[in-house]
A and B are shown apart, each in its own frame.
Chain A
Amino acid sequence: MKFIVNRRTVSLVESKKPCDEAREELLTPLDYRTVKTLDEARKKIWYKDWIKGGVNHREEDGAVVCDRKVKEKQWVVDVDSLEELIDFQGKYGEIMISNSSPYKEARTEIRILGVKGI
């Protein structure tokens, strides 16, 4: 399973690997809007930009959503089992798992809170 990975602080002057296993990938951001149907979305001021900026517009989970055309670079790691996750935690110290900004390819992030492996 693909996880976005980052640290408590990020470098703003260079794109620095948060951990050895991380690799940079282009991910597809999902653009959710809190209206229930595409018909309702048509009446909104953001509709044209939303249509222009994305593909695969659809209704999902009581909202409308599309895949944004402009992809975003993110650091990701693959963790496929609980053992791998525990090994990762052992190597880097305290970690926090939470929902990330929604991407087509990943929706969960691992934040490394510890100072091990810096």
Chain B
Amino acid sequence: MPNDIKPVKVSDIMKDVASSFDSSIASNWYSNIVGFLSGNKSFYVLLGLSGLLVFAAAMTALNAINIGYRHAYGVSREVPWGILISTYIFFVVTSTGLCIISSIGHVFGVKDFLPIAKRSVFLSVVTIFAGFTVIFFDIENPLRMALYNVISPNLTSNIWWMGTLYGAYMVFMAVEFIFLLIEKHKIAMYAGLAGLISGIAAHSNLGAIFGMLHGREFWYGPFMPIYFIASAMMSGCAAIIFFTWLGYRVNNERMDKPMERAMEVVGKLCTVMIAVLMFFTVWKLIIGSVAPAKYEVIKSMLHGHFAVNFWVFEVLMGMAAPFVLFLLSRWRNLNMMFVASSLMVVGIFFMRFDLVIAGEAVPSYYELGVKEYSHLLSYSPSFSEIMIVSAGMGIVAMSFLLGEKVFKGHKTEIH
């Protein structure tokens, strides 16, 4: 009967479309990912894939050594630091952040941070190793560098201090992890404290490498060391939430209350650090707009070559969206916090890329009005560089998966 047919409302159609989108794409995608990570045999597939990625990247890196970096990489005399340097920074920033956050529990004994500490220490060793691997292939002769670092140190060089302090940092963190495993907490604590001190010294010094370069106006100034430490804490929080969530999925463990509380406090700290970074970013833009060479870079970030990187990745994915998601989650909805931290990991990668590349985009002769250098310099990563970056990611993924299996969820025994 025609009278029985109800008129179709636009709002109903929209609702159906929305729900079908939600169930058919978003939730399927989510459940597939969760299913893949949920302790099934697919774990070995992921492990194999990350191993394969590392192998393929290692072959590409060896080929780059063979043919010469100047042919294999997209860097030039004018833009000498490329994606390998920015990825190195991405990894060491994450590592330092993980160290700082884990030390709140494992060095200073704050109970709420203890459940996340062991996994964080492990990941800080893994990420610094990934960072060293990436920079290994950026240096023309890394083995000679290691030798001369010891026999002919240049104490006035920031880069000498960086290599030395990060080397010490990696050793201290590895020692801390080993002593945590054998439950010698006293020695682990002292190693952790030494790791924290060397990590903060190394990382603020890394900021100073940029901050002390007179020739690059975008970086120059005392802002960088402070920015690097604040940024490390934000990255560390994001990495802890990201990997803890994944770890619990891999092991199918039920998260107990102390771990939920740990995630809550790390989430809150993360939100505060995002706010701090937003504050830094706003002032970087305002102050930069009155310095001629800085202004060119700022313009390119706001509406030029770096605009997509800046607005989409750095601002939206790296800070704004996670900030809102953390507030909405009330630091209890772990799935929402995981999404926020995933966005942050991607956003922060681009944040580092922008920091390094945008800083070199203004030619040294720009303010002198030299005709050949009147425009911003450009840089695009080559295939070899992208593969080496993938190797770093592969090392972290493989080590994380192996770590979850071998160390059985990184349980902390301190009471």
Interface residues of A (CB under 8 A from B): 4, 6-15, 31-35, 41, 43-46, 49, 53, 63, 72-75, 98-102, 111
Contacts and interface: CB of A to CB of B under 8 A. Distances in A.
Contacts of B107: 12
Given A10-B109, A10-B414, A13-B185, A102 B41 contact: no
- Pick from B38, B39, B185, B250 the residue with the most CB of A within 10 Å: B39
Interface in B217-252: 250-252
Contact of A75 (B40, B44, B106, B415): B415
A9 B257 contact: no
Given A32-B256, A46-B252, A101-B258, 4 more contacts: A13-B189, A45-B39, A45-B40, A63-B254
Looking at B38, B43, B108, B111, the one whose CB has the most chain A CB atoms below 10 A away is B111
A33 B252 contact: yes
Contact of B253 (A12, A34, A53): A34
B408 interface: yes
B114 A10 contact: yes
Interface string B94-131: 00000000000011111110100000000000000000
Nearest to A63: B254
A110 to B, nearest CB: 12
Given A8-B110, A10-B111, A13-B189, A73 B415 contact: yes
Contacts of A41: 252
B186 interface: yes
Contact of B413 (A34, A72, A102): A72
Interface string B40-73: 1101100000000000000000000000000000
Nearest to B406: A49
Contacts of A45: 39-41, 43-44, 250, 405
Contacts of B40: 43-45
